[in-house]
Amino acid sequence: MVIMVTMRPYHVLFLLLCVSASEDFDWTKNERTSFYYGTFPSGFSWGAGSSAYQTEGAWNIDGKGMSIWDAFARKKGKILSNDTGDFSCEGYKKVKDDVNLMKDMKLNHYRFSVSWPRILPTGLRREQINEKGIKYYDDLIEMLLENKITPVVTLYHWDLPQALQEKYGGWQNVSMVNHFHDFADLCFERFGNRVKYWVTFNNPWSIAVEGYETGEHAPGQRLKGSGAYRAAHHIIKAHAKVWHLYDTQWRNKQKGLVGVSLTADWGEPVDVSNQKDIEAAERYIQFSLGWFATPIFNGDYPQVMKDYIGRKSGQQGLGASRLPVFTSQERNYIRGTCDFLGLGHFTTRYVTQKNYPSSAGDSFFSDRDLAELVDPQWPDPGSEWLYAVPWGFRRLLNFVKLQYGNPMIYVTENGVSEKMLCTDLCDDWRIQYYKEYVNEMLKAVKDGVNVRGYTAWSLLDNFEWDEGYSERFGLYYVDFRNKNKPRYPKASAQYYKRIISSNGFPNQREVENWKRKSAETCYSSNQLLAAGQSFAPHWPV
């Protein structure tokens, strides 16, 4: 049984160019095998993630400029409970504390983002460089390296300088391509001698759709049927320009890699014997992952996007498609512009064909001609859109392998939330989620998918965009009521630490013992939280 849901509107170096040699994906073959005991290849990298606006706080301290999220969160009714990220986790002031948590977990890498307005308050390099902002990231990078934790740096995790939004219209304006290039060049210049993994954009689908189609994210514009496509077009160009910048001016000196982080749900046909459902499921993935991955790998948008949006634009009496067109020169420039693919994944949908007439109006969602459904038996502990469907992760990874020529993949975001009212740090549902999703990733590696690392989302509970502080993804609980924002490990933090130390799931007896040991940690954390006392890492290895 499935039920309809509301569409979700929306963390050894070598060069491997993203060039695609696609194969057909077998939609009829869905192996849902039992739990697999085994370990990941030697050198597999384990980490956790965050982003600047969600964790740093310090929104107007030490010369930082305003971001579009600073402005958006101040508009009444935009964020649940009218929360803001003004203080958030106070990560700006707690670098040493947080790195100690990472060290205790034995993380191999930590993914964070640089706040564009923190280092360029007006967004423009030629106007002002904020050295205090530079120093903050310098100190964070140095402390990570001192503790043998590799920094993975995202250049854009949604916090565009507000000045650029006001002056140019943000990502609706092609001038952002050059401004982003200048910001990235400064980051490469100041941090690139120590940072070897760069992510240009985090989840550009959300930037485009939720920022410029539904308006539920900053900057809150509702340019239905065109705004998302225009923003995405400029973001893809900006990504390519920054990749070429690094490739031509910095790579030989710094020996790093530049990729992009794309977030995608898996779409499974409701009926795998129904060709219409199969086509709808593939269309669902092409309108999310493929929208950005196909230009980056192959130089142009997925043919199905060009066909569907072009046809609907014609039916609406428009002289041209609402989907912008890359010139031949641009296609050649964009093709192959990544050294690794960052992949964020949280959940799965069943998908079936649903025709939307042109009279329904311009809309990214109606352009797809499909309906999303869920199985009511799927667990949904937190976010209304996030159902735990582990087998979809393996399916997605194998799809990427076949669609894009088995690129080097780093999982850049994967995790599960709970609602704010839950203060029980014994988060069994998160342990189960990580256990099953990481195991499906292990099966995908066994299938031959080239996954090199995994990033849990997120290290800390933080500001969850339009949901404010009502949803918690963290391995560490943050007491937002306390001005010091103390952190407390949840049971899942200890469990994830065991996965890291074992590089997977060595045997059934040992894995079953992890949950008991994790429970001991959360009981201690619950006592400290109840007493209002701080936590200091002291777990046994």
Q: Is residue 438 within 8 Å of 38, Cβ to Cβ?
A: no
| Beta bridge mates, 202 | 261
Residue 440 identity = E
Interacting residues of 261 by C-beta distance below 8 A, sequence separation 6+: 154, 199, 201, 202, 203, 342, 343, 344, 412, 413
Phi-psi region of 220 (alpha: psi -120 to 50; beta: other; left: phi over 0): left
3 state SS of 254? helix
Q: Is 29 exposed, middle or buried (0-12, 13-18, 19+ CB in 10 A)?
A: exposed
CA distance linking residue 300 with residue 291, whole number of Å: 9
Tell which residue, 46, 35, 111, 2, has the closest CA to residue 390.
Answer: 35
Q: Is residue 498 within 8 Å of 505, Cβ to Cβ?
A: no
**Active site (annotated) includes residue 464:** no
Q: Is residue 245 within 8 Å of 337, Cβ to Cβ?
A: no
Q: Which one of 413, 418, 440, 471 is the catalytic residue?
A: 413
| Distances from the Cα of 8 to the Cα of 206, 349, 364, angstroms | 10, 11, 12
Positions annotated as catalytic residues are 413
